[in-house]
Chains A and B, each alone.
Chain A
Amino acid sequence: MRVRSPRNSKQQRVLRVTLAAALVIGVGMLLPRAFSFVGAAVMAPFHATNQWLNESSALVPTFFRDRQALLEENQRLRNDLVIAERSDLTQQRLFDENQRLRSLLGAADENRLAAAVIARPNQLPYDLMQIDRGAAQGVEFGAPVYVGKDVVIGLVSHVAEQYSFVQLFTSPDFEATVYVEGPNVVAVMEGVGGGVARVRLPQGIPIQVGDMVYLPTIEPGAFGRVSYVENEPTQPEQYGYVTTHLSLASVFYVAVGRTAQVTQSVDAVEENVQEYLQQSLVVPGVSIDISTTTATSTATTTEPMVPPETTPLAP
């Protein structure tokens, strides 16, 4: 008598099911249109259930749908936030750079030309500064060179096609007529190198550290402040050493003006000196606001003066 083991029977069943399924799948791949028709008919109840889950406003499908939608929206917003943060950083960096360039150029003055500093005195054999703008961009020989709105640091001494050299006021033997605010005198400033210039004044003139020094031959022409006073009572002269407000090593951009801003006229120089004098008592930051309470009232309200934020006036 022949006995069939359960394991062999099971293996044969698996084999039969597999073969049958493979046959059906094969037929389905040969007749996909017929299978789709049968599938659509058989799956009609599931199709209705699926539609209910996807489109119904009932509680359960709405819960699943809303949760899924919220998850997707959450992920999308996270991505947007990351992108926005990065673009915000880029915008902020560009904005800062733009503001810095505008302040260097003098935003309201279109007669200036922004230039990048290629080399500084410590990189050149002479006390010069090389900039990346030349005759092709409109740089003129003798044009003043600014750092910031009105701080002039030198004159263009050589103009090439694509670059220029700037002779600094602090170059040795460079002389210029300056107006020293404080003692209110006009004197000769001479460069001593290393970013320092020297004002020579007779004894008795009350020059102090912090006095502003202007170049009245250039409009506008602030140069710097007296940073050290060398005064030997036995000597007939005293010296005030003048520096700009920033180191030349930290200057990356300058603005080149026009030669028309440099004048040799005595009258123009005196006019500039008078202008500095007339503005020397103006303290920025002080304002008085007056407001009338009613149209018929004669009383006025005066707010207290705001204390000045700057240092006191020079004597």
Chain B
Amino acid sequence: MTLTQRLAFISLCIAAVIVAMQGWWLLLVAVFVWIGLRYSAWPLIPLMIMVDAYLGGFYTFPVLAVSALCWYVLAEYVRERLVIVESDHG
């Protein structure tokens, strides 16, 4: 991962937190998809845990953290298939 890609990844993670705090859910989904398929979704898990902790989500059910965890598992599964398809035609 180059420095530019690293900076873009960090910016997207920060944007995901801000978007989640603003409640712009559609934009949050788009950021999740972009991060999960282009880079890796695992940083979203601690970030969403922190957002849930900040918003008091652990008093009921941490929706954002569980969603990030599920998306991480799914994205890793999908990303693997996408990489195989690319390698077959590459």
Name A residues whose Cβ lies closer than 8 Å to a Cβ of B: 7, 10, 14, 17-18, 21-22, 24-25, 28-29, 31-32, 35-36, 38-40, 42-43, 46-47, 49-50, 53
Contacts and interface: CB of A to CB of B under 8 A. Distances in A.
A22 B70 CA distance: 10
B17 interface: yes
A43 B54 contact: yes
Nearest to B76: A14
Contacts of B72: 14, 17-18, 21
A32 B21 CA distance: 18
A242 to B, nearest CB: 77
B17 A46 contact: yes
B35 interface: no
B56 A32 contact: yes
A40 B51 CA distance: 9
Given A17-B45, A29-B58, A39 B52 contact: yes
Nearest to B69: A21
Contacts of A40: 53-54
Nearest to A32: B58
Contacts, number: 81
Contacts of A24: 46, 49
B15 to A, nearest CB: 11
Interface residues of B, number: 28
Contact of B69 (A25, A31, A35): A25
A39 B59 contact: no
- Give the dominant DSSP class at A's interface: helix
A35 B58 CA distance: 8
A46 B49 contact: no
Contact of B62 (A29, A43, A47): A29
B59 to A, nearest CB: 5
Given A21-B65, A25-B65, A36 B49 contact: no
A40 B53 CA distance: 7
B18 interface: yes
Residue from B50, B54, B61, B80 having most chain A Cβ neighbours under 10 A: B54
Q: Which of B61, B65, B66 has the most CB of A within 10 A?
A: B65
B87 interface: no
B22 interface: yes
